[in-house]
Amino acid sequence: MSKNKTFKALDYRTNKPISVDVENGKICAISEIIETLDTNYFVAPGLVDLQINGFKGIDFNSLDLKITDVHEICNILLEKGITSFYPTVITNSSEAIELLLTTISTACNNSKKTDACIGGIHLEGPFISFQDGPRGAHSKDFVQAPDWNLFEKWQKAANGKIKIITLSPEWENSTEFIEKCIKSGVIVSIGHTAATTEQIQNAIKAGATMSTHLGNGCHAMLPRHKNYIFEQLASEKLWSTLIADGFHLPDSLLKIFLKTKPNKSILVSDATSFAGLPSGTYKSHIGGNVELNEDGKLCMQDNIDMLAGSAQSLLWCVNQLVKKQITSLQDTWNMASIKPTEALFGTSNNFLEVGYKADFVLFEKNINGIQIKQTIKDGEIVFSDLIKNS
Ligand SMILES: [Zn+2]
């Protein structure tokens, strides 16, 4: 049982000074205070990343992934204000997927902290589109039709931790598979798809509730009226996840997506293991060399117009939208913190409110954007930049 702690900072929603009391991992009191604070830090819910492939050299899709890597990445992400995340395992051989899922779930079993940080696993593929464009960087060799027995085998290896699956409903048996996923408590997200508008509609009827990185993992050219992006955008049932790193979607398209679904948009990083590394050239397991340039863009070395994934954190994406004034700080923060959990559980479990879990951050705004000063996970200070400064 943890002792009572009090945090004083400006409420990210109102800019007013508040004190937040936590006990036993939960927020037990919030009150407005009249005293002047000696810092201009803000307090806000912890960030939640539903799609992350790795960070700082650690790769959830590398067969070299070690249990200790999974523990380490939790600490790295806590420094970035991410109190919960969904390691994303992408299309691979059945054996490789099984191995990676086993490593991640074992890491959760071995450490209470890791288990608390990993909300679940996101399986992206292999039941996606074969077609170039929609398939993105996923290996064609391992793309296949949905297979429930295989999924059950993987879910067993994951110790039940697969909570999100990205698939394309263009496969004949998609509807039946989606229904089974939903019944077993797995969120189905449409992505890497070349599905027809009817197939998208059927997937939604079967229970799909999310679109994976809408606008990416698509054909370069689409029919102007009937296409899978508009069909997903038009659905009130689907949440959109968006990679707002400044490179994956042009600002104007991002604005359209956000205006269409102001209450059902979520930011994801889709970060690769190159995120958090210094700029330079790196060897990639998706084939060839990749270049991380000084602006933070990750592209293929031999074709700089081709993105090689994202190399930025969820916090970077928040900063992008705020800096460009595309959305307000409060709305942007919500899309990266409470909206992801609302999409998964029907209602957010990480509100900055009494009775909710004490997963929150203190941050400051300066000319470089938002900087995390402290991260609180289950009521404990798990990262602090304050000590260094004092
Ligand atoms: Zn993807």
- Confidence band, pLDDT 50/70/90 cuts, at residue 390: very low
Domains 5-44+353-389 and 47-345 share a fold: no
- Confidence band, pLDDT 50/70/90 cuts, at residue 389: very low
- The 10s digit of each residue's pLDDT in 172-229 is 999 999 999 999 999 999 999 999 999 999 999 999 999 999 999 999 999 999 999 9
Instruction: Report in angstroms the alpha-carbon separations of 308 from 56, 190, 216, 263, 273.
Output: 16, 21, 12, 30, 11
Mean of the pLDDT values across residues 297-306? 86
The confidence score (pLDDT) of residue 305 equals 81
CA 311 to the chain's CA centroid:
13
Separation of alpha carbons 177 and 124, rounded Å:
15
Please provide the distance, in angstroms rounded to a whole number, between the alpha carbons at the two ends of the chain.
Answer: 28
Pick the catalytic residue from 59, 270, 359, 378.
270
Q: 38-50: b or e for each residue (b if 16 or more CB lie within 10 Å)?
A: eeebbbbbbbbbb
Q: Which class for 388: exposed (0-12), middle (13-18), buried (19 or more C-beta within 10 A)?
A: exposed
CA 192 to ligand 1 center in whole angstroms: 6
For 250, the 3-state DSSP assignment is coil
Instruction: Show me where the domains of the chain are located.
Output: 5-44+353-389, 47-345
- Identify the CATH class of 47-345: alpha beta
Q: Dump strand ranges (E) for 284-342.
A: 289-292, 298-300, 303-307
Tokens 């009226």 belong to residue: 225
pLDDT-wise least confident of 33-42, 69-78, 253-262, 272-281: 33-42
CA 373 to ligand 1 center in whole angstroms: 31
CA 353 to ligand 1 center in whole angstroms: 33
**Confidence check: pLDDT of 286 > 80:** no
- Confidence band, pLDDT 50/70/90 cuts, at residue 382: very high
Amino acid at position 206, single letter: A
**Confidence check: pLDDT of 362 > 60:** yes
The confidence score (pLDDT) of residue 236 equals 97
**Residue 292, both tokens:** 């991380």
The confidence score (pLDDT) of residue 388 equals 53
| Helix (H) and strand (E) counts in the chain | 12, 21
270's CB contacts (< 8 A; 6+ apart) are 51, 52, 53, 88, 213, 216, 243, 248, 309, 310
Structure-model confidence comparison of residues 166 and 4, the more confident one: 166
Amino acid at position 196, single letter: T
Tokens 């050299």 belong to residue: 57
The confidence score (pLDDT) of residue 329 equals 96
CA 217 to ligand 1 center in whole angstroms: 6
- The 10s digit of each residue's pLDDT in 220-267 is 999 999 999 999 999 999 999 999 999 999 999 999 999 999 999 999
Instruction: Report in angstroms the alpha-carbon separations of 305 from 292, 308, 381.
Output: 12, 10, 42
Mean of the pLDDT values across residues 15-35? 95
CA 212 to ligand 1 center in whole angstroms: 7
Q: What sections of 280-337 are H helices per DSSP?
A: 314-323, 329-335
Query: What residues form DSSP beta bridges with 85?
Result: 49, 118
CATH of 5-44+353-389, one of 1.20.1250.20, 2.40.50.140, 2.30.40.10, 3.20.20.70: 2.30.40.10
Q: Known catalytic residue: 270?
A: yes
Q: Which residues are annotated as a binding site?
A: 124, 137, 192, 213, 216-217, 224, 248, 307-309
Tokens 């939640």 belong to residue: 48
CA 25 to ligand 1 center in whole angstroms: 34
- Whose CA is closest to 90, among 148, 55, 153, 140? 140
Mean of the pLDDT values across residues 270-276? 96
Beta-strand relationship, 26-32 and 17-23: antiparallel
**Confidence check: pLDDT of 386 > 90:** no
CA 388 to ligand 1 center in whole angstroms: 37
Q: Which residues are annotated as a binding site for Zn(2+)?
A: 124, 192, 213
The confidence score (pLDDT) of residue 288 equals 79
Q: What is the DSSP letter of 278?
A: P
Query: What residues form DSSP beta bridges with 59?
Result: 54
CB atoms within 10 A of CB 169: 27
Q: Residue 256: in which H helix or E strand, if any?
A: helix 251-260
